[in-house]
Amino acid sequence: MFDDFVRFVRELYSTSDFIPLHRPYFIGNEKQYLLDTIDSTYVSSVGAYVDEFEQKIADFTGAKYAIATVNGTAALHVALKLAGVEAGDEVITQSLTFIATCNAIRYCGAKPVFVDVDRASLGLSPESLGNFLDENAELRDDGLCWNKKSGRIIRACVPMHTFGFPARLTELNNICARYNINLVEDAAESLGSLYKGHHTGKIGLVSALSFNGNKIITTGGGGMILTDDEAIANHARHITTTAKLSHPWFYEHDETAFNYRLPNLNAALGVAQIESLPDFIDNKRQVAVQYQEWGEGHGVDFTKEPPGARANYWLNVLITKDKGQRDAMLEFTNANGVMTRPAWTPMHKLIMNRECVKSELTNTEWLFERLVNVPSSVVLNAG
Ligand SMILES: Cc1ncc(COP(=O)(O)O)c(C=O)c1O
């Protein structure tokens, strides 16, 4: 099977060279917009491309406000702060995620709490969240959700749309509303993915996107905060630009804040990339169909978008039979120039998270032992 798989991926990408997991393509106006930026001398965080990129992302996602940041981690950090996360709080998230989700929670001085994911959506499981809260949480007279056992406030819940597959947002949002917990979406991987017709990042109070070089579109490094809440949007803009008060020449700042704004140079790349985004999504969805068809012919499962979800198929997911087959596949494909990767080591297993509160994590463990990401770049000139 591994041999056949390598042959199939080589045919898909029409190359005998090394095949990465995800490569960027700069096939539009990238060079022209970068040169414009250099000619204008506005290469840093003020400039027309920053405003244009924000507007284009807002239009694309349907979010009322989009605020560009230096990377997705910074976007998530600010999103959590603006959702009210404070030192000593608990923030519920999934253990099957990239470290940046936990890092952003830790930057706020809060503690991650891990619940399980769905096997089908790969995202935070509403059942696991509901069971955890029913068993551990209570809404008190102060209107806040308290963890009865740890004595901490559960301030936010951060589902992550794993590899571009949307988590079950409506169900998660209903549970969070019942417990007065703010929903903050880590939509770093899911630009272009929808759940029940809504763009991921649109349901949460505030959400974060990433434009890292491995994402569906890239600004080199970059991120975006999305929200429909005007006060949050204004505050996000303020604290990502050192909380400087507007004045023609005086430097006055009204809180300790961050230098998190996206440079114009990176935004120029983003404006060009978003022009290609609809084609990239269509193309990647075709790649996913080709993997699924190959899988059906070879008795191999690939994760498909569940009902109600429309995935951007950022990274395709092959589910091996067990850990032994996963490891053999990783060995064979990487030795043969086809890049594959396992899921991230689950967060609850990392040394700094071993004391964290967690629910049963059966699906997380099951997926970690079996899941393999396979090359998923756009195929140029694909049918
Ligand atoms: C799930 C997730 N969250 C957050 C991030 C952070 O984004 P960045 O690398 O732009 O800081 C990434 C991507 O790198 C990610 O995959």
Per-residue pLDDT tens over the stretch 197-206? 999 999 999 9
Q: Determine the atom of ligand 1 nearest the C-alpha atom of 214.
A: 14
Token readout for 9 is 């991926």
Residue 185 Cβ contacting ligand 1 at under 6 Å:
no
Pairing of strands 90-94, 154-158: parallel
The predicted pLDDT at position 383 comes to 42
Residue 318 Cβ contacting ligand 1 at under 6 Å:
no
Residue 125 Cβ contacting ligand 1 at under 6 Å:
no
Q: Is the pLDDT of residue 160 over 80?
A: yes
**Rounded CA separation 225/77 (Å):** 10
The predicted model gives 130-147 an average pLDDT of: 98
The predicted model gives 66-74 an average pLDDT of: 98
User: Quick one: pLDDT band at residue 46, thresholds 50, 70, 90?
Assistant: confident
Question: Where does the chain hold its CATH 3.90.1150.10 domain(s)?
Answer: 2-23+276-350+357-374
201 CA → ligand 1 middle, Å: 14
The predicted model gives 50-74 an average pLDDT of: 98
275 CA → ligand 1 middle, Å: 22
| Residue 337: other Cβ atoms inside 10 A | 15
2-23+276-350+357-374 CATH, one of 3.30.1360.20, 3.90.1150.10, 3.40.50.970, 3.40.449.10: 3.90.1150.10
Nearest CA owner, ligand 1 atom 1? 98
Q: Is the pLDDT of residue 181 over 80?
A: yes
| Residue 362: other Cβ atoms inside 10 A | 12
382 CA → ligand 1 middle, Å: 28
Percent share of the chain, pLDDT over 70: 99
The predicted model gives 349-371 an average pLDDT of: 97
Q: Is the pLDDT of residue 382 over 60?
A: no
The predicted model gives 157-174 an average pLDDT of: 98
The predicted pLDDT at position 45 comes to 82
Exposure b/e, 249-260, CB count within 10 A at least 16 = b? eeeeeeeebbeb
The predicted model gives 189-209 an average pLDDT of: 98
* Range with lowest mean pLDDT among 45-49, 62-66, 174-178, 188-192: 45-49
Question: Where does the chain hold its CATH 3.40.640.10 domain(s)?
Answer: 30-273
User: Quick one: pLDDT band at residue 1, thresholds 50, 70, 90?
Assistant: confident
Q: Is the pLDDT of residue 218 over 80?
A: yes
30-273 CATH, one of 3.40.630.10, 1.10.8.60, 3.40.640.10, 1.10.10.10: 3.40.640.10
Nearest CA owner, ligand 1 atom 8? 72
Q: Helix %, strand %, coil % for the chain, to 5?
A: 40, 20, 40
Q: Which helix (H) or strand (E) holds 327?
A: helix 323-335
